[in-house]
Amino acid sequence: MASFENPKKVQTFWFSIIVVFFFFGFIELALRVSGFEPAFRYKSFSIPSWMEEMDPVVLEKYQQFVAGQGFVNEDAYAYEPDLRYGYRLKPNYSTTVQNYSSAFVVDKLPTWTIFSNTEGFRSSSNEATIKEGKTLHVLGDSSSFGWGVEYEKSYPSQLVEKLSTIATFNLRNLSLPGFSTFQGKLLWQEYGNVKDGDWVILSFGWNDSYSSLQTDRRQFNLRNSIAGKINWKLKHLLLFRWMRTWGFPRRALDHNEGTRVPLTQYR
């Protein structure tokens, strides 16, 4: 009898595994087809789940900002988690931002639009054909991104318009809001294909000195460790990201704050 029971147990075991696999696979498929966007709760606000990639201190301050202004800026939903940079603009994405404000302006600001290209960088609604000539490469934060204004009114676009009166220039704007010089360095290592005669603008501001529990370099190393990459693969599953938003208790922060990019890393 034992020889007959063991195969049955093995069959039952594998059948159970297959059923569980298909059950969770069906849920994952349903979430993707529905266009589900995971978000976690902070008080009465739903915050996009990609923000969990932020340093805990940075995230805590953003949550306080949201609570103070009473809403989450609509442009926050234009980004997605990224293994290399922590987050970046969704590729081939467009949205009109109406409900937003900044830490410097209490009132809601004028409507603006975001269009992104296939690489996940901001572009015009009708991306211009690359012309023979020079290219202006811009790496920076929200100021260079043109946060809060139409793409054509951002200073990189305005500068290219002026330069084009004396020579043919293309614009390659690699800027992203909230980025530091460390993230800019990573961008340059991946996208910095500059030809002779091209112009380059590097423009990073106070994000480097923003208070944080871990430096940007430390967060990058953690994400790209073996354990970090396994965790990242899991977080690509909408089901896993959704389960993380169920409101489990979070550890209270107990830390000595530093900065995102310390002075010792400017070399």
pLDDT tens, 135-192? 999 999 999 999 999 999 999 999 999 999 999 999 999 999 999 999 999 999 999 8
Question: Has residue 249 got a pLDDT over 90?
Answer: no
Beta bridge partners of 198: none
Question: Has residue 251 got a pLDDT over 80?
Answer: no
More confident position, 3 or 80: 80
pLDDT confidence bin for 233, thresholds 50/70/90: confident
Q: Which two structure tokens, joined as six digits, stand for 74? A: 């609509």
Q: What angle (nearest 5°) sits at the alpha carbon of residue 68, between those of residues 65 and 73?
A: 55
Between the alpha carbon of residue 217 and those of residues 22, 27, 190, 242, the distances in Å are 39, 36, 16, 27
Q: How many residues are present in the chain?
A: 267
CB 113 within 8 A of CB 96: yes
Q: Which two structure tokens, joined as six digits, stand for 169? A: 């220039």
For 70, residues 6+ apart whose C-beta sits below 8 A from its C-beta are none
More confident position, 267 or 205: 205
For 254, residues 6+ apart whose C-beta sits below 8 A from its C-beta are none
Alpha-helix runs per DSSP H in 34-117: 56-69
Tell me what percent of the residues of the chain surpass a pLDDT of 70. Answer: 75
